[in-house]
Amino acid sequence: MTKVGRIATGVGLLAALCVPGQAVGTPVGVAMPGPVTAPPVLDLELDGDSLSLRDAFAILEGRPVTAHLAAAAQANMSRTRAGALAALDDQRVYGWNQALGPLKDRPLSPEQAEQFQRNVLRSHAAGVGEPLPDNVVRLALILKANQMARGTFGVRPEVPQRLLAMVNAGVVPRMPQIGSLGTGDLQPQAAAGLAALGEDAPVRYGGEEGPASEMLPKAGLPRDFTFEAGEALPIISGSTVLAATLMDAVHRATVLADQAEGAFALFMEATRAERGSLDARTHKERHIPEENAVAARLRAMVEGSGWMTEEGRERLDPANYHPRVQDAVSVRAAPHIMAGLRHVIDDARQALVREANSSTSNPLIFKRKEGPGYEFVMGGNWDGSVMGHLADTLNAEITDIGVLSQELSGRLLSPRWSYDLPANLAGGTVGLNSGMVQVQTVAAALIPEMQARATPAGTLSRPVKDGQEDHNTMAMASVRHLHENLDRLEIVLAVQYLMAAQGIDLIAEKMSGLALGTTTQSLLAEIRKHIAPLGEDRYLTPDLERAIWLVHNGYLTPSVAR
């Protein structure tokens, strides 16, 4: 599994190692996979009701995609558009014949409508910072088109078709990350809207970046497009960029949850842990489905292990061996701790499926409750509070997994805590060789950074825009912090994998004749394909860089992962 399309962050090590799609980021000593068959094109028909997370994850993984509107959705959109225009005769409507934000009480004449659409996008395209990854942008445009297909935004079918034409042609608007408050993702979506108009907003096409006015014709698309009355606001209203970035985070978190379980299983082998903490009867009594599932996967990973037995535990010091009785809390409670992450991931997945197939603009257009025709209804349905708080909660769980992983790595350094592994996991003479103590420090250095970034941004609302927008979810900040911590967790787990593998190799001779579990053996073999065991002290940065690369690209995902 190769991870592509990521949020740009300030974690320089990953930026250097893991440039999507570029072998230049591969550390020395890591074997690149051979040629693979290109995946089939994902052909999506958007009807506003049936876009799935499986489709979204495929887009995030870089699968080629084409998308088009269902015929029934186009017909419904055309009917709603006609009804919306008729309703303007006797209704003052935000963003249609009235201005926006603090200027909402300023009327607009029909003659001003077209220029107003362009001005809205120009004034709102004020974001800064690194652009969002290409695959996140593609997904955001498809989400927007799918939501428009519901027929409640009042736009012509030509509007989502223009967005999809860019996706299908491989044109990617550059959406800056900074500026959104979780109040509709105004800045990044306005940048995409300007690109759709054919203005000079930057886009990428064919490995080249330039103004949309030049790049659209190169992609075989008409340069110019016109948004008519009421069509600019639906482009920027609604939290589709937030949804796309959170989907990317959930996808990454799922892969790392799998790898956290694999790293823990390898740790259990290295410390010859008590198998009783995985007993299905114990976990069944807690009535937490995710906990039962984690424990079951861990049991499967260590199935057949002779290391995690009384004979295995006795091997290192038979003369002084005493039954262990039970392991430390970090070991015994790990299935429950890891279940918390799985629970939040499941909650986020359900919320994101709803979000992908919902109407999230303001205003919305409905058939009148009584009598013929349509009416506009103004509300706050674009708000990103639910997604923002889910991102904060997921970040807390990700951080807790990072803390757990760092604690487990730390146990491996101490002969007392690791049950007689060599001190510091030194491969030669202990003392003359310092082993992996500073590798573990890398993980410890990242934990306070993770904890600081796990502060819930969703509790930090502040009023803007002359009080018209006086509550803001700050959800984009929540998702950006989440992605930064996912970057850090990749490094922390790489440390644990590297150290657990070293612990196993250091005592392998004494454990001769006893097998590891089938899955843990395969994880160890994957690591050793790229990183040799540590004997005499050596330059360790390359070893850790290789381990990070393996985690980042999913090579250490256990075979029993769901």
| All domains in the chain, ordered by first residue | 39-237 (1.10.275.10), 247-552 (1.20.200.10)
What the block records as the tokens of 49 is: 């009701």
- What is the spatial distance between Cα 108 and Cα 396, in angstroms, rounded to a whole number? 46
Please tell me the pTM assigned to this model: 0.91
Q: Which amino acid is at 107?
A: P
Q: Quick one: which H or E segment has residue 366?
A: strand 364-367
Cis amide bond preceding 363, omega within 30: yes
Which residues fall within 8 angstroms of residue 448, CB to CB, at 6 or more apart? none
Q: Is the separation of the CB atoms in 242 and 473 below 8 Å?
A: no
Task: Walk along the chain (562 residues) and give the pLDDT tens digit of each residue.
Answer: 333 334 443 334 454 444 333 333 567 666 665 656 778 999 999 999 999 999 999 999 999 999 999 999 999 999 999 999 999 887 777 777 776 655 666 777 777 777 888 888 998 888 898 999 999 999 999 999 999 999 999 999 999 999 999 999 999 999 998 877 766 688 899 999 999 999 999 999 999 999 999 999 999 999 999 999 889 989 998 889 999 999 999 999 999 999 999 999 999 999 999 999 999 999 999 999 999 999 999 999 999 999 999 999 999 888 888 888 888 899 999 999 999 999 999 999 999 999 999 998 888 999 998 889 999 888 777 788 899 999 999 999 999 999 999 999 999 999 999 999 999 999 989 999 999 999 999 999 999 999 999 988 766 665 565 555 655 677 888 999 999 999 999 999 999 999 999 999 999 999 999 999 999 999 999 999 999 999 999 999 999 999 999 999 999 999 887 5
Q: Is the separation of the CB atoms in 395 and 403 below 8 Å?
A: no
What the block records as the tokens of 318 is: 């038979």
CA distances from 355 to 241, 392, 494 (A): 11, 17, 33
Q: Is the separation of the CB atoms in 219 and 104 below 8 Å?
A: no
- What is the spatial distance between Cα 311 and Cα 306, in angstroms, rounded to a whole number? 8
Angle at 287 between CA 284 and CA 292, to 5 degrees: 50
What the block records as the tokens of 214 is: 């030049």
